[in-house]
Structures are given as structure tokens and as C-alpha cells.
Structure 1
Amino acid sequence: MKISLLGASSLALTLSAPAAAVIAVDGVRDAGYGAATATVATDPNAPHSNFQAPENRAHAGYDIYLSSDASNVYGYFDLTGGTPVGNFSNVYWDLDPSAGNGSDLGFEIGTNGVTAFIPGKNGQPGFNKVLDSSLYQVAAVADGGIEWSLSASLFRGPIAGLAYYSPQGFENRINLRLSQALSFSVAGGASYGPNRLGQVTIAAVPEPATWAMMIGGFGLAGAALRRRARATLAFG
């Protein structure tokens, strides 16, 4: 059986690198999210602005879906009940869960923009940073909710111009600790478990030497395929 060079190359790449589900920030929950990482119950009697005592309920309930790839961290907050006051999501992340020091970085996410802030310091000079639009995407969900992506670079190291608590660690797994989304009730707390509202992995950026090895590997694989193709043409 003869296999063309193009077909063999495609087959080799398919076997070595399974395709990942692609997420588009368009207000539609794509397969790449998988199962919900947390559910916030709908309760019209839920408290407002309860940052010091977050609960499992909110005036507008929602399911939380999280995902990530080498470029972005994704969130999809799907309304399940109640009446939202707006399409927004204020999310509080633990960047170094092993340190056990609570929320390190927050984002105010809305269809009109995104601001990064240091929890407990919000509103103070130096602890807030309006993000450039190249670092995020936001879309409203048609049936109620919000979808967003944040550049993975925002989680790998300090954001320029933003003051952090010291010392600040950065790990490859981060936890969503608190969420104030769609209503002013704050969800979170230890009752959700050690990963709180969900955990995502921040993929490392390959070192230049690693890229060179990968490219070199592709070159060797291509050369082998070319030799095999020539042998097929000669003897096939």
C-alpha cells in the first residue's frame, strides 16, 4: 500500500498530538469546558457582598465551568435561576495554593472591560490595573451568564504596574476561591472542597531550547518520511 508524503505526515502528527477541544469565547459553552467545577444555588434570601463569609448560594444561581490551554484561562458562568443584576463576574484566584495564604489576584470582568486587582486592596492606588483588550475576551451568554478568557500570561508572573502582597508565588495550578457573579452575593468557602470553585492548570511556556528540539524532531521525522516515500516510489 502506498501512502503519500502529505498523508503520512498528517497521520504521524495525528498519532503524536491528539487534537484538543477548542473554546471560542462567543457565549456558547463548548465541549472543551467539560463538567461544571462548582454550582452556586439560587436563593432570593442570599446575602449581599458577603466577602468575609462566602456561601453556596446567590440571588442569581449559576454553574461554573473552567478550562485552560497554553494561551488562556477560560470561564463560563451559566445562569440557572434568579434574576441577574448584570453580565459580570468578579473572580478571586489563589495563585500559589501550596502556600495556604488565600486569594492573591482578582479580576473584575464585564462586557465593558476587565480590571485586575489585589484582593483586600481594591480601590487603593497601585493595586488596580485596567487590562489591555489584547489580554482578554468577554461575551454575554444568551440565556443569562457570562463567558470570558484571560491570557495565561496574567497568571504566570506579576502583571506590570500592579503591586502584589509580598512574597508572591506563582504555581502551575491555580484555584478559583471566590466568585461574585451575576448578582452581588459572594460564593466560595471551604465547603466546596480544597480546590474551592475549581482548579485549572497553567501550561508552561516551552524554553527556546525545547522549541529547537521539537522543531528538530519534526525535521528528522520529515526526513524519515521522505526517505520512506522515495523507497515506496522505487520499489512499490
Structure 2
Amino acid sequence: MKRITVLALIGFASVTAGTPAFADTIDTRGSYAGKIDYLGAGYTPTYGQTFTVGPANALNGFTFFLGGGATNVRAYVYSWGGHGVLGHAHYTSDVRSFGGTDGDAYQALRFDVGAIDLRPGQRYVAFLTTAGIDQPANGGVTWMPTAGDFGSNAYAGGDFVYTNAGDSLDAVVGKEWDDSNGVFGDVQFQADFSVGATSGAGVPEPAAWALLIGGFGIAGSTLRLRRARAGQLKTG
């Protein structure tokens, strides 16, 4: 009888130990191939990259790459509706300053966001904007390096997007974006994820649940049988 009880506990342990630990990274970096120019105040104020969330759904951070003239930007993450952003911001950064580079050089601009739960399988957009932000006196034209050749689809889960909407976040959020069809391909971009509280990754599969429930059933039957035999010995 003890052996059956142990097997039931082993079944429970195998369910919990067998839970997958998802982790995921989106990374479109590569060698310099081209640039999407004219990001900034007085030009196009908002550049972004859409992305699709996998099983590891908690966004920990993301990185854009900038070259060219100095600029001040703020980063956001929103749900993506196909032609523009939806709802309220999932993440808003403080104002970040990019000091500028020469020639074809570019630098990483990283945003650590904590662990923001997003919905697996849904598309979102991370973007940088100069809208409503004071700019440095020595500012100039800023650009983002492309992920592969201009217009290539380096990342199937998203695209580079932009909007020329006015100099306020309300305009950026409230209007259809100028390019939402991926004509320009992708920019170099990184995002890293971990398992979120609402991912469902920690929930056992149906077969695992069956094993778990069966294990408890065997353990319960064992206890009932032992009690019945104990009663028979007392009355016998």
C-alpha cells in the first residue's frame, strides 16, 4: 500500500516539475545595411516597431538603435490595432537623451520596463517619439538602422511603423498611422520576455491534470482501504 501512495506523490511531483519555463527574445540586430532617416522634431516625430508576444508574455525591456543627430525622446508600448495604437499605454518612459553619432555609427537605447504582462499571440507596438518634448540646441536628423536590406521582412511578427501626426501624444494615439503595412520592413530592435502572471505557462496540460487527479484518487482509495481493513480487525 505504501508503494501506491508513493507513486501517487511521484505523479504529483512529475506534474509540477514538468511545468515548462518559457523565455523568449525578439532580436532583429545585424550588420549595418541601411537607415530610415528623418526621425525627430520638425521631421517625423514617431518611429516604432510592432511585435507579437509569445508564450513568455511578460515584457522585461526593449532596445532601439539610433544614429545621426542628437535628440530627446520618450518611449511607449501600446496595443497595436493594425493601423494605429489602441487603448492606454502599457509603458511610458521618462525623457531620454540621445547624444548623436557620426557617419554610419549607431547606439543602443535600452528601456527596462520591469515585467509587464501582455497577452500571448497579440501584437503590440514599441515606439519612440519627440512629440511634446523639448529638443537639444545641437539637435539634428536622427535615424534608425534597418534590419537587413531596406524593405526586407527580417521579423515575421511585426514591422517598422511611423506617424507624422502632430506634436502631442494625443495626436499620435488618436490618428491612423502613416505607414502600418510594413512597406519599410523592420528596424534593428530587441525585446526580452519572461513568464508572466497571466501567461498560463504554469498551468499543467490536460494530460498532466489527469495524472495529478488520478494520483490523488489512488491515494484516497488507499486510505479508504486501509481504514476499512482496520475496522475489520477491530470487529473481527
TM-score normalised to structure 2 length: 0.37
Look at both structures and tell me which one has the larger radius of gyration over its CA atoms. Answer: 2
TM-score (norm 1): 0.37
More relative contact order, 1 or 2 (CA 8 Å, 6+ apart): 2
